[in-house]
Amino acid sequence: MTAFETLMNFQRETGALAQVAGRLGWDQETIMPRGAGEQRSDEIAAMESVLHARRTDPRVGEWLDAIDAGALDDEGRAQLRHIRRSYERTLRVPAKLASDLARLTSRAHRVWAEARADDNFAAFAPVLREVVSLKREEGAALAAGGDVYDAMLEDYEPGATAAQLAGMFGALRPRLVALRQAVLEKPQPRALRGPFDEQAQMTLAQTVAKTFGYEMSRGRLDKSVHPFSSGSGDDVRITTRTNALDPFNCLYSTIHEVGHACYEQNVRQAYRFTPLGAGVSMGVHESQSRIYENQLGRSRAFTGWLFERMTEAYGDLGLDGPEAFYAAVNRVQNGYIRTEADEVQYNLHVLLRFDLERALIAGDLEVDDLEAAWNERFLADFGYEVDKPSDGVLQDVHWSAGLFGYFPTYSLGNVYAGCLHASLRQAVPDLDTQLSQGDLRAATGWLAENVQQYGGLYEPREVITRACGGAPSETALLDYLEAKFGAIYGLDRGLCAARE
């Protein structure tokens, strides 16, 4: 075999082992016995040691040096780009540090879940201090003298920098704040009248998942504390959660995770277990989940179809028809939880986390002061106080898992989704007619063809630029939000510069 063929065979084995490791995480979140936690930490740490050894195997460097990139096609060169990037980054992190982080974050997750249930940040703070310390150490190793937070971003959005994201987010904030203020001054649409049987929610969630193209023969839907998607190729699993008083929590969490899952299911089969065989970045990944959830799932056309399914399942919803249902789905109201936030306010939640975690990693904010800093920032941004830690600093799983640099990709994904939605509507002029019939094939097919099938073939911004015919900008998202919510709430068009 050539050096390239040998390298790719080795890579596919590593990729398969990584999928096994990911399945351990899925099991921990869903059906693992409560008493198995300590053992699972050791299992995950052992798998991480094996993966780290493979990713830093000196033969990888020898194979890379022996390959003539000029003799490869575009796909081959893209494989080399990913493998070289991963190899060089992994070499910078000592094996013991990688194993210690895997073991620590597995333990930290359990501590976080218990602290969240008890509304006790003090119980989580000690282990979070350990996580932040090790992540700072890892980030410094990866940065090799450069910006530590930028080095962390590279794991989730290659090529992005904190300065670039701060500029984009700075452009988002003024129009979002103006729109939020204008909307909250208006009367709120009527909410649904419950309760709603939670098993019926899961049954409807299954139906909705299939409607959006999720192949259940290659996946499954379960419940977890924090909804997530796991896996790639022919084994992509998702979770959701239920609330008897809020069926939208379950349904839209499901649609969101289906967006992630469909991305993974639709990557070209030839890329299986290789660096090209998964979503290229978390920002692009989030663009899929957000366009599924919001621009498609919360559209007037699709909610008309969903209203009929909800009525079939629950009878009278206490609303005056599909238009009132559409308004209820898109209610803008005060709330603490990022994952439950409406489209207008969601990015404000993300920007709070982005600023706080940058400060944590830089050493400008210590863990002992994090809860107070969160509460202070939340009050400044949203105008009311956090009522309890599970609604504030303890609500997200990310920091317990050491995922620093992940949060900003949520807002970046929203920006990408705004661009993709504008292009999708041009490509499918009768989109609303199809959505009103519960027919998502043209919409999801366009996304599969223009984004999902390529996996990691192109760099993140290039994926969006190729699909949309221009570089990504926050303008499309802001225009969409102002037009949509301006119409729902009857806003003065001049107040928020809404445009159709």
Annotated catalytic sites, by residue?
Answer: 257
Taking alpha carbons only, the member of 354, 464, 332 closest to residue 411 is: 354
User: How far apart are alpha carbons 419 and 31 in whole angstroms?
Assistant: 38
Q: Helix, strand, or coil here: 121? A: helix
Both tokens of 307, joined, read 């209203």
User: How far apart are alpha carbons 178 and 491 in whole angstroms?
Assistant: 11
- Tell me if 260 is assigned to a ligand binding site: yes
Q: Are 486 and 496 in contact (CB under 8 A)?
A: yes
Taking alpha carbons only, the member of 417, 500, 483 closest to residue 183 is: 483
Compute φ and ψ for 325, nearest 5 degrees: -65, -45
Q: Are 485 and 330 in contact (CB under 8 A)?
A: yes
Quote the Cα angle for 423-427-430, to 5°: 115
Identify the bridge partners of residue 223 per DSSP, sorted by sequence position.
240
Residue 62's identity, in one-letter code, is: E
Taking alpha carbons only, the member of 407, 346, 408, 352 closest to residue 379 is: 352
Looking at residue 335, what DSSP letter applies? -
Q: Which single residue is written with the structure tokens 């493979």?
A: 54
Q: Can you say whether residue 197 is alpha, beta or left, with left for phi > 0 and alpha for psi between -120 and 50 degrees?
A: beta
Residues 6+ apart with CB under 8 A from 107: 37, 41, 127
Contacts 24+ apart (CB under 8 A), 441-444: 441/213, 443/296, 444/212, 444/213, 444/262, 444/292
Identify the bridge partners of residue 232 per DSSP, sorted by sequence position.
235
H/E element holding 221? strand 219-223
User: How far apart are alpha carbons 384 and 406 in whole angstroms?
Assistant: 26
* Residue 131: C-alpha distances to residues 92, 110, 144, 382, 402 (Å): 18, 13, 20, 29, 6
User: How far apart are alpha carbons 283 and 368 in whole angstroms?
Assistant: 30
Quote the Cα angle for 372-378-381, to 5°: 140
Compute φ and ψ for 380, nearest 5 degrees: -65, -40
User: How far apart are alpha carbons 360 and 133 in whole angstroms?
Assistant: 10
Quote the Cα angle for 81-84-85, to 5°: 80
- Tell me if 421 is assigned to a ligand binding site: no
Q: Helix, strand, or coil here: 222? A: strand
Looking at residue 237, what DSSP letter applies? E
- Can you say which residues are annotated as belonging to the binding site? 256, 260, 286
- Can you say which residues are annotated as belonging to the binding site for Zn(2+)? 256, 260, 286
